[in-house]
Amino acid sequence: MTEAPRPWFRPRLDGLAPRVAAYLTIALLPLGLIALYQTREFQRETERRSELSLLGLTEQGATGIGQAIEQALGAGEALGVVSGLLDDPETCSEYLSRFVEGRDLYSFVGFLPASGPVTCSSADAPFEVDPGIDIAGLMAEPRVRVSAVLGSFVPGEDVLTVLIPGAAEQGEQGGFPGYLALSIPRDRIPEAQFGVSELRPLRLLTVSGTGEILTRQMGDAEELSTEDLLPRGRSLGDEVRLGGPRVFEAVSGLGEDQVYTITPLIPDVAYALAIWSPEQAGQGIESLAGSPLLFPLLMWATSLVVAFFAIHSLVIRRVTDLGLRMRRFGRNRSMANDPSATPAPLELREIEEAFRAMAASILQDEARMENAFRERGVLLREVHHRVKNNLQLISSIISMQVRRLPDPRVRGILRRLQDRVLTLASIYRSLYMSPDMGDVNAAPVLRAIVEQELRGSPDMVEAVLDIEDIVLDPDKVVPLSFLAAEAVSNALARAGAVEGRPSLSVTLHREGDKAVLRIANSLAGPPAPLEEPARGLGQHLIQAFAAQVGGPVETEVREGLYCLSVAFPIESHLPADEVESA
């Protein structure tokens, strides 16, 4: 059966590819750590740049309102002289009215005293401050303020009011005189501007230093409450009081993940707050999405893939193919000469050439051994054949001598000797005719011996042969053949006819790990007593041959039959039919 090569995508765990992957992983570990560190630093730098980009866009979007507040502060500083005109409310009001008329940004400018009505303003006449305005609280902590809840000093307008504290020394007895109020209508504040950038926040808010929402921009038509827009559970006043531009993630009042950016327009006065979605926040300047492990893992995986295919193409496939050729050569001594489409590396070519040289040497050695074995077999067959011919020649000489001797007794002895010589010749004939001279089938040898003895018998004997094919080595076939020849000769000499012709039976069967040879002949008259017979030469030879095959001789007389049996051990050999067909 031809062994199929193992698929490349199913490497063995103890194979070359997994080991190379393990060593390559160890080799790439320092580079991976360096790449991880650099990737993390790059990600941090990218995040910082992305935050700066979002903060810049937030400040850019609130530029209009920031500039409006800065202009109001500058105008307030320029109008600081108004506090010196408080003693003349008519002149002060006329001055402020001309100031408002010459500016498109303001709808009202006036001085809010610490107590009493507003007498110096751009309004037509003095008026009382709205009772809802906490004048006392404003006076208790004098500082620049921007508010959308102070109310409008011009009825029907939606304004932002910038409050600038006056100089303390101008007040009565050196106290705090009050605030200069400048009202900026919301419709005069420029819309958010983002230039050509397509990245715009979901909403843009401006917040006062106290956490009060001043304006809302970039929102949809649906007005959401402050709680829905701002981070859940966090105070907007606390966030702006932290100071400085910041970017943080939080969950809004609606339960959505949002990114918030806060940047000061005027420190402690006004801040811009933008709300971004996480996807928008990830669109900063080449922001790296994902874990910093992504790049090292990709580098490691790519290196392993490249290394695997390189090793598979250059080494594993070549070694596997060479192994298949070696196994094929070991099974049937075949060598494939199909060249590879791509040349193998020098080292593998040297290994393959060494294997081919070794295989050629093995084939030559086996051919020489086969020739030597064949010559040995031919020589052994020739030796056995010559021995058989010489034994037949001796038999012929004995036969010539028998015909010249007048004494019947001497002639009988010589004929018995001739039978033994012919038995030995039959054995050598079986040896040189056997395909494997190391093992001989005992059945044809025994049949030939029995037939030879029957031909030499003067009486007509009814013979029954039941001989099983059993393969034995020559060391047992030779004594077993002589034993059978002597026993058959004795049986023919003793066989008697009770009714009809004398009978003879020869059986050889395998019984377990032993073989049993039984030779029985009929007896005339009553059975003889089971006493040891006279021990002539034949009996001595039978005992000697039985000792050589490894089994004792047993005799018995039963129902008019004399039976001789020998049981001897045999080794496990191939069946006789396989030996003959080999």
At residue 515, the pLDDT reads 92
Dist. CA 480–CA 482, nearest whole Å: 6
Q: What are the tokens at 315? A: 């080494």
107 touches 157 (CB < 8 A): yes
pLDDT category at 9 given cuts 50, 70, 90 is low
Dist. CA 545–CA 554, nearest whole Å: 13
Q: Which residue has the higher pLDDT, 52 or 284?
A: 52
The type of residue at 90 is E
Q: What are the tokens at 460? A: 């007509």
319 touches 6 (CB < 8 A): no
Is the confidence at residue 105, as pLDDT, over 70?
Answer: yes
198-235 confidence digits (pLDDT tens): 678 888 888 888 888 888 876 654 566 777 778 888 88
Q: Which residue has the higher pLDDT, 91 or 468?
A: 468
39 touches 296 (CB < 8 A): yes
Is the confidence at residue 581, as pLDDT, over 50?
Answer: no
At residue 329, the pLDDT reads 84
Dist. CA 58–CA 56, nearest whole Å: 5
Dist. CA 240–CA 273, nearest whole Å: 9
513-562 confidence digits (pLDDT tens): 899 999 998 887 555 444 444 446 778 888 888 888 888 898 888 878 88
Average pLDDT over residues 104-133: 83
Expressed in percent and rounded to 5, the helix, strand and coil fractions of the chain are 50, 20, 30
Q: What are the tokens at 166? A: 């006056």
Dist. CA 332–CA 366, nearest whole Å: 13
Is the confidence at residue 81, as pLDDT, over 70?
Answer: no
Sequence-distant (6+) residues with CB within 8 A of 546 are: 479, 483, 552, 553, 566, 568
- Main-chain dihedrals φ then ψ at residue 127, nearest 5 degrees: -150, 160
C-alpha Rg value of the chain to the nearest Å? 63
Sequence-distant (6+) residues with CB within 8 A of 64 are: 189, 190, 191, 192, 193
pLDDT category at 466 given cuts 50, 70, 90 is very high
Is the confidence at residue 579, as pLDDT, over 70?
Answer: no
At residue 580, the pLDDT reads 45
At residue 285, the pLDDT reads 41
Considering 135-139, 202-206, 294-298, the range whose residues carry the highest mean pLDDT is 202-206
At residue 463, the pLDDT reads 86
Stretch among 36-40, 201-205, 328-332, 479-483 having the lowest mean pLDDT: 36-40
Q: Which residues pair with 178 in a beta bridge?
A: 113
